[in-house]
């Protein structure tokens, strides 16, 4: 059985992290049985990030490396029916989501003060309770410093809020234009791009942290419908209800 290691469900989603939501969705698209495990901690993560999996006693980090590994090992591929051209486009959109748009989301969580205060409370409630109270503040401060450094290093953190909003808006419009009236990004059948898109878009649309980027996404009806479609097709209502943790709202 594949063991998925992540943080914690919230807002009706299987995890706080878009990359963990992506992996849950990939497992379901590929019909791979898996279980969420709390046996290992962040310290065990091979890349120092979530998600990571344990499979056949091997720890693997990074959602894309995990997907590549499982596709190869288990001889499956949700993208098998795509042409080479479609595979290229699909990978380019995954990179747009994960290497660019994601950092816009991170900006609004960490650098908009009210959002960071709310998110802190969420992390305290859902994740930090397992640590002694005396070190919780230090963990949060270290996480904050690390993420803000990454945001600067990536380059997104050097832009002003209106610039970040414009960059994110263009990415969201590109996703919406490409999706058009199709049920899934590459057509009739869900593929790996849908897992990545759902991971990011559901997190942006369903979390409780207000932002102009969220407002923009919510204006794009086909992206909203896409999230509802993925949720209805790959998640049960009971799961969504069980994960509907709302903190501080
Ligand atoms: N490229 C990685 C990105 C994973 C990632 O950034 N995870 C975040 C949670 S959304 C994390 O663990 N951040 C903590 C850190 O960077 O220290 C993947 O695809 O899995």
User: What pLDDT score does 38 carry?
Assistant: 84
What is the side-by-side strand order in the sheet with 58-61?
Answer: 34-36, 2-5, 52-55, 58-61
Which residue has the CA at smallest separation from atom 2 of ligand 1?
Answer: 62
- pLDDT for the residue numbered 246: 86
Residue corresponding to tokens 């080479």: 84
- Gap from CA of 181 to ligand 1 centroid (Å): 31
- Residue 140 CB neighbour total at 10 angstroms: 17
* Residue whose CA lies nearest to ligand 1 atom number 19: 63
For residue 51, is the peptide bond before it cis, meaning its omega torsion is within 30 degrees of 0? yes
Give CA–CA dist 60/71, Å, rounded: 13
Query: CA 112, 114, 119 angle in degrees (round to 5)?
Result: 90
On whether the CB atoms of residues 78 and 192 are closer than 8 A, the answer is yes
* CA neighbor of 77 nearest in space, from 65, 85, 67, 86: 67
Domain spanning 2-242: CATH 1.10.730.10: no
Q: What pLDDT does residue 28 have?
A: 98
* Residue identifier of the C-alpha nearest atom 13 of ligand 1: 49
Alpha-carbon gap, residue 61 to 20, rounded angstroms? 11
pLDDT given at position 103: 98
Report residue 223 as tokens: 């992206």
- Among protein residues, the one with the nearest Cα to ligand 1's atom 11 is 49
Atom of ligand 1 nearest to the CA of 16: 10
pLDDT score at 249: 61
Report the half-sphere exposure of 161 (CA within 13 A, side-chain side): 9
Q: Name the residue ranges covered by the structural domains of the chain.
A: 2-242
Q: CA 82 to CA 138: how far, in whole Å?
A: 47
Q: Ligand 1, closest atom to CA 49? A: 12
Q: What tens-digit pLDDT sequence spans the chain (249 residues)?
A: 999 999 999 999 999 999 999 999 999 999 999 999 988 888 899 999 999 999 999 999 999 999 999 999 999 999 999 999 999 999 999 999 999 999 999 999 999 999 999 999 999 999 998 889 999 999 999 999 999 999 999 999 999 999 999 999 999 999 999 999 999 999 999 999 999 999 999 999 999 999 999 999 999 999 999 999 999 999 999 999 999 988 876
Tokens for 167, please give them: 């960059």
- The residue behind tokens 């209502």 is 237
Q: How far apart are the first and last CA of the chain?
A: 36
User: Measured from the CA of 147, which atom of ligand 1 is nearest?
Assistant: 16
Going by the DSSP 8-state scheme, the letter that residue 180 receives in this structure is T
126 φψ region: left (φ > 0), alpha (ψ -120 to 50), beta (else): alpha
pLDDT for residue 43: 85
Q: Which of 77, 98, 27, 53 is nearest to 186 (CA)?
A: 77
Nearest to 64 by CA among 98, 14, 29: 98
- Residue 238 is predicted with a pLDDT of 97
Atom of ligand 1 nearest to the CA of 23: 20
19 CA distance to ligand 1 middle (Å):
7
Task: Classify strands 2-5 and 34-36 as parallel, antiparallel or unpaired.
Answer: parallel
Report the pLDDT value the prediction gives residue 61, as an integer from 0 to 100.
Answer: 97
Q: CB under 8 Å to 16, separation ≥6 — which residues?
A: 7, 8, 9, 10, 122, 123, 126, 203
Mutate to test the pocket of ligand 1, among 4, 48, 50 (most ligand atoms within 8 A of CB): 50
């Amino acid at each position: 059985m594949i063991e998925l290691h992540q943080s914690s469900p919230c807002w009706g989603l299987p995890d706080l992290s878009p990359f963990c939501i992506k992996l849950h969705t990939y497992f379901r698209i590929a019909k791979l049985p898996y279980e969420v495990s709390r046996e290992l901690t962040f310290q065990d993560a091979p890349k120092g990030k979530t998600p990571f999996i344990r499979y056949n006693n091997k720890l693997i980090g990074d959602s894309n490396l995990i997907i590549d590994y499982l596709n190869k090992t288990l001889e499956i591929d949700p993208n098998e029916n795509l042409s080479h051209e479609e595979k290229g486009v699909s990978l380019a959109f995954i990179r747009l989501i994960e290497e660019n748009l994601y950092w816009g989301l991170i900006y609004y969580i960490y650098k908009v003060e009210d959002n960071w205060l709310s998110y802190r409370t969420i992390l305290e409630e859902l994740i930090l309770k397992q640590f002694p109270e005396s070190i919780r503040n230090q963990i949060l401060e270290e996480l904050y410093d690390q993420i803000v450094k990454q945001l600067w290093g990536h380059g997104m953190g050097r832009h002003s809020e209106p610039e970040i909003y414009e960059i994110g808006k263009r990415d969201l419009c590109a996703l919406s234009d490409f999706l058009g009236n199709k049920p899934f990004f590459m057509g009739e059948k869900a593929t790996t791009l849908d897992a990545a898109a759902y991971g990011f878009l559901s997190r942006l649309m369903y979390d409780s942290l207000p932002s102009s980027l969220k407002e923009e996404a919510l204006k794009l009806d086909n992206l909203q419908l896409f999230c509802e479609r993925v949720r209805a097709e790959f998640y049960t209502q009971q799961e969504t209800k069980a994960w509907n943790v709302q903190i501080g709202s």
